[in-house]
Structure 1
Amino acid sequence: MAVREDKQTAVAELTDQFRSSTATVLTEYRGLTVAELKQLRRQLGDGAAYTVAKNTLAKRAATEAGIDGLEELFKGPTALAFVSGDPVEAAKSIRDFGKAHPALIIKGGVFEGQTISADEVRRLADLESREVLLAKLAGAMKANLSKAAALFQAPLSKTVRLAAALQEKREQGGE
């Protein structure tokens, strides 16, 4: 009975992690050493938790969390990176670690409640970080505001120049 309770607790914890994560990346870690797994966890930082889980428990937790389409990914040794921070940064960390350690294989994942393939995880890793995208957006908006301000000032300055020219013409004609 105690084993069953342990499994129920594990499923409940995994379900909570699935529900509270912005993204989840499933990987196969066969061939990685404990030291390499620690290195991956450090590389992911505070924004993600890397957990090795039994496939049956993880599959049940995903189903309880309302996530469908992961059944095929739960084959072989599976570890889950539950991302609470920026999913792009976590995907980049996993991709880069996988390049340095070919034993780490990205199987797929979950992003915004939808199942994504390994290729989609890699495409997510190719995106720029949220901060960079926001900075680019702010720069573009600032440039457009500057153009708008110049556009709004143009008729006013033209009007002032026209009035000055008329005034000058009147002064010349009145002499």
Structure 2
Amino acid sequence: MEATLFSSLPSSSSSQSYPFPLKSHFNNPFIIPVHTHSHLKSKPRTLTIRSAISRTKKEETVETVKQQLEDCYLLAGISYKGLTVKQFRQLRSQLPETTKLLVAKNNLVLKAIEGTKWEALKPCMKGMNAWLFVHSEEIPAALKPYRAFQKEKKLEENDFTGGVFEGKFYGPDEFKTLENLPTRAEIYAQFLGSLKGPASAVVGTIQAPARNLVMVLQAYVKKLEEEQGGSQ
């Protein structure tokens, strides 16, 4: 900042003053440079933009989870701590087309399942989870690829953390039940066998879990439709 100062020096012999200019160049430390002031103004705006982007991504994740839950038969958590990007790609390539693997934070998944039958998955909401969405009634076939991958890569620590099937929560120790569910073909064969056997066998089949009975009836109806279509 440039300032021009004027001063009058008194004279002992005369009252006349002699004005002369004095120039002093100095920087006022109390003046904030324009570029610094501009930078301070732009910072809050940058933070606002970043917050908006982060919020949008979270909303997109919640929406993706909700979409995956449509026509979903099983939702299971897998501990992915320590897994590499390469291993994730390998795992995804080995899964059936009806099974999707998604990495999402627990709080976002919890928000997506709130108020639905999938809320039973709450005990899984800790640690680092990848989420397996099974869009098929063939549950064992959907779980088998991960078990094989887990064994091949020696990933004992990366086990299922839990899952929900038909509104019921299955802990890590109960996954064998899901992995040993009968396939559609096995249920179909069981039902046909009971039709040829005594009445007690049919009753036993009908008293099976609701899911098994529904699958049996669907398979039987489908077979009848195929037979009728072939006879026309």
Same fold (TM over 0.5): yes
CA deviations 1:65-120 (Å, max 9, x no partner) are 44323333122210111000122211233333333332421111110122222222
Indicate if the aligned counterparts of 2:120 and 2:167 stay in contact, CA closer than 8 A.
no
Residue identity opposite 1:141 in structure 2: L
Please report how far the alpha carbon of residue 53 of structure 1 lies from its aligned counterpart in structure 2 after TM superposition.
0.9
Please name the residue that 2:156 is paired with. 102
SS in 1 for 2:96: helix
Identity of aligned residues (%): 31
2:65 alignment partner in structure 1: 14
Query: Which of 73, 83, 97 matches 2:134?
Result: 83
Structure 2 counterpart SS, 1:89: helix
CA apart distance, 1:144:
5.2
Q: Give 1:64 deviation, angstroms.
A: 4.7
Instruction: Report the AA paired with residue 135 of structure 1.
Output: A
The alpha-carbon deviation at position 62 of structure 1 amounts to: 1.8
- Structure 2 CA distance for aligned equivalents of residues 39 and 139 of structure 1: 41
Structure with greater helix percent: 1
- Specify whether residues 64 and 9 from structure 1 end up closer, same or farther in structure 2 by C-alpha distance, changes over 3 A only: farther
Paired AA for residue 44 in structure 1: L
- Whole-Å Cα distance in 1 between the matches of residues 117 and 179 of structure 2? 25
Tell me, yes or no, if the aligned pair for 1:28 and 1:78 is still in contact at 8 Å: yes
Which whole-Å CA distance do the structure 1 matches of 2:79 and 2:93 have between them?
A: 18
The partner residue of 2:167 within 83, 108, 113 is 113
RMSD over aligned CA atoms reads 2.2
Q: Does 1:60 align with 2:107?
A: no
Aligned to 1:172: none
Higher relative contact order, structure no. (Cα contacts within 8 Å, ≥ 6 residues apart)? 1
Report whether the alignment pairs 1:128 with 2:186.
Answer: no
Give the TM-score taking structure 2 as reference length: 0.55
> 1:33 maps to which residue?
84
Aligned to 2:123: 72
Deviations 1:42-63 (A, max 9, x none): 3321121011111111121121
Structure 2 vs 1, CA of residues 84 and 128 (structure 1 numbering), >3 Å: closer, same or farther? same
Is the Cα contact below 8 Å between 1:48 and 1:81 reproduced in 2?
Answer: yes
Q: Which runs of 5+ in 2 are unaligned?
A: 1-51, 200-232
Instruction: Identify if the C-alpha distance between structure 1 residues 66 and 144 changes in structure 2 by more than 3 Å, giving closer, same or farther.
Output: closer
Distance, in Å, in 1 between the alignment partners of 2:145 and 2:182 is: 13
Q: Aligned with 1:95: secondary structure?
A: helix
Map of 2:54 onto structure 1: 3
Equivalent AA in structure 1 for residue 177 of structure 2: R
